[in-house]
Amino acid sequence: MLSPLLIILSIVAFVVHTLRHALSSPLNKIPGPWYAKFTSLVLKWNEFRANRTQYIHDLHLNYGPSVRIAPREVAFASAAAVKEIYCSGGSGYDKTEFYDMFRVYGRRTMFTTLNKDDHAKRKRIIADRYANTNIVRSPSLDGIAEGASNFVKRCFQSIGGSLDLYVRLHSYAFDCVTHHLFHPHGADSLLSSKDEEIMREVTFDDSLQNRLFQHYWPTAHKILGRILYMFAKPRETPLADKFVLDTCAQTDTTPFTLLNRLQNPSYNLDHTDVAAECLDHMAAGIDTTGDALCFLMWELSQPSSLHYQRKLQEELLANPGASFDKLPYLDAVVMEGLRCFPAIPMSLPRYVPCGGRTVDVFFLPAGTIVSCQAYSVHRIDRSVFPNPDAFNPDRWLEEKGDPERKRLFFAFANGGRGCVGKHLALAEMKMLLQAVYSRFTTLPDAAMAPEELGMSDQLISSRPAGQRCLLQFIPLDAVTGE
């Protein structure tokens, strides 16, 4: 038995050591709340409450573009910091163990590789399938066009009532991404009920708290796992797992698909590696595109944004049949939507390399966790984005400040580890908006409360807090009286 005196002395020694380390840290020069010197519990509390993004943004508003958020973690929101952390050496700093939460079937995918070399090897296999030259080819665009056509059918069916965009946009993204990954998918019409169950498993993940607890306190999670299961169930995706594993056993996929590329024997990927990569892309592609479109269409439908919706409709009606990438106002709407509601608004953590680095004039020792979050990078510099919380697509059509806006655009991250699916996502967003707003005016359903479209963090992505988004679709001929 340990004596009470020994226990007390041990506690005192621990407290003294903690205080000494906190008070002598080179990070003390960085502004931030006083408690960030001593504990990360406040940060973790906000993560568990699905509020990390807004919490860090509020700190930026109070302390500036460089802010200490934990004893060994710093958040930045400047173009210079983005360039240093994510672009130096091509791929930036190495990822932290935070990304271990996203391993699939116990395997590392391109997204979850931690060091630059492993990421580069996997990216060399995958990148050409997401190159713009591949995306704009007929086989790939045909799948997106079919998905957009199916979505428009839903819009027509909803006339006189409303449509839940949150569900339907994820279904659209599911159609598009499975076509790109696996074509032929085998579905020529709207999602079957089984497909929709798979889509819900992959995207509507309610295991946030469980996954965070397991990541931060793995030993306690093992001990308390059964109790936690009663309150926060771990993520389970049996239908999606079977769908992906079975589909990845196919050998008749067309050349433009990711599966066709991964199955090339020269890459030495086993069946589980291939399935893990595909499931990772499927989940990421559905969540990001579905949520970003949901937030954007909700904003376009607000009374304060109807004049922007009218401008978009005018451009689309004046250019029938135009390619989605030849419409400047459509591009401005999408850019502003991704600025205000980035698909991945949260921090992307990295480790400072050996020897330490200087970021925004602050020297950071090796092992410091650093990050930028798109939500704040898109808002903090008011000289580049005046009135940053306002949705204003017109800002992207101004010649003045264009280079600065582009440098601060972080919706797809930056550098060699930026979003490989950027071109696919932009094509999906633009083709869907083109199909909808050349036919309809959208208005919010009266049953919707504004707080339902608040941002709820989900580890990296975010979703509408109410997990629904009801809009009314009014045919343009009914609006114009034609």
Rounded Cα distance between 195 and 336, Å, is: 32
Confidence at residue 186, expressed as pLDDT on a 0 to 100 scale:
43
Alpha-helix runs per DSSP H in 104-236: 116-130, 132-135, 138-157, 165-182, 193-203, 208-216, 218-231
Is the C-alpha dihedral spanning 392, 397, 401, 406 positive or negative? positive
Query: Is residue 9 a part of any domain in this protein?
Result: no
Which range of residues forms the domain containing residue 466?
25-480
Report the residue count for the chain. 482
Closest C-alpha to 341, from 280, 241, 415, 429:
429
Q: Looking at residue 200, what is its pLDDT?
A: 80
pLDDT in tens, 35-73: 999 999 999 999 999 999 999 999 999 999 999 999 999
So what's the pLDDT on residue 190? Answer: 41
The per-residue pLDDT for 140 is: 86
Position 325 scores a pLDDT of 94
Instruction: Report the chain's mean pLDDT, rounded to a whole number.
Output: 90
* Three-state DSSP state, 373: strand
* Three-state secondary-structure class, residue 261: helix
Distance CA 209, CA 459 (A): 9
Res 316: pLDDT = 98
5 lies in a domain?
no
Check residue 185 and give its pLDDT: 45
**Residue 272 lies inside a defined structural domain of this protein:** yes
- pLDDT value of position 187: 39
Q: How far is CA 348 from the centre of its chain?
A: 10
How high is the pLDDT of residue 479? 57
Quote the tokens at residue 423: 């071109």
- Burial track 10-29 (b if 16+ CB lie within 10 A, e otherwise): eeeeeeeeeeeeeeebebee
What's 78's domain CATH number?
A: 1.10.630.10
Residues annotated within a binding site: 419
Residue found under tokens 């950071």: 364
Q: How many structural domains compose the chain? A: 1
Q: Which residues contact 58 (CB under 8 A, 6 or more apart)?
A: none
End-to-end CA distance of the chain: 89
Which residues contribute to the annotated binding site for heme? 419
Determine, yes or no, domain membership for 16: no
Q: What is the pLDDT of residue 460?
A: 84
- What are the residues whose beta carbons fall under 8 Å from the beta carbon of 339, sequence distance 6 or more? 378, 385, 409, 411
| 3-state class (DSSP) for residue 457 | strand
Distances (CA, A) of 32 to 35, 64, 340: 8, 9, 25
Mean pLDDT per 10-residue interval, the chain, length 482 residues:
61 56 81 96 95 97 98 98 95 95 93 92 93 90 94 96 95 92 56 71 79 87 72 75 89 86 93 95 92 97 97 97 96 98 93 97 97 98 97 97 96 94 96 98 96 90 92 84 47
Is 77 within a domain?
yes
Identify the pLDDT of residue 23.
62
Could you give the C-alpha distances from 417 to 85, 316, 365, in angstroms and in order?
11, 34, 23
Q: Quick check: is 11 in a domain? A: no
CA distance 279 to 243: 9
Task: For residue 100, tell me if it sits in a domain.
Answer: yes
Kindly state whether residue 163 falls inside one of the protein's structural domains: yes
pLDDT at residue 253 in the model:
79
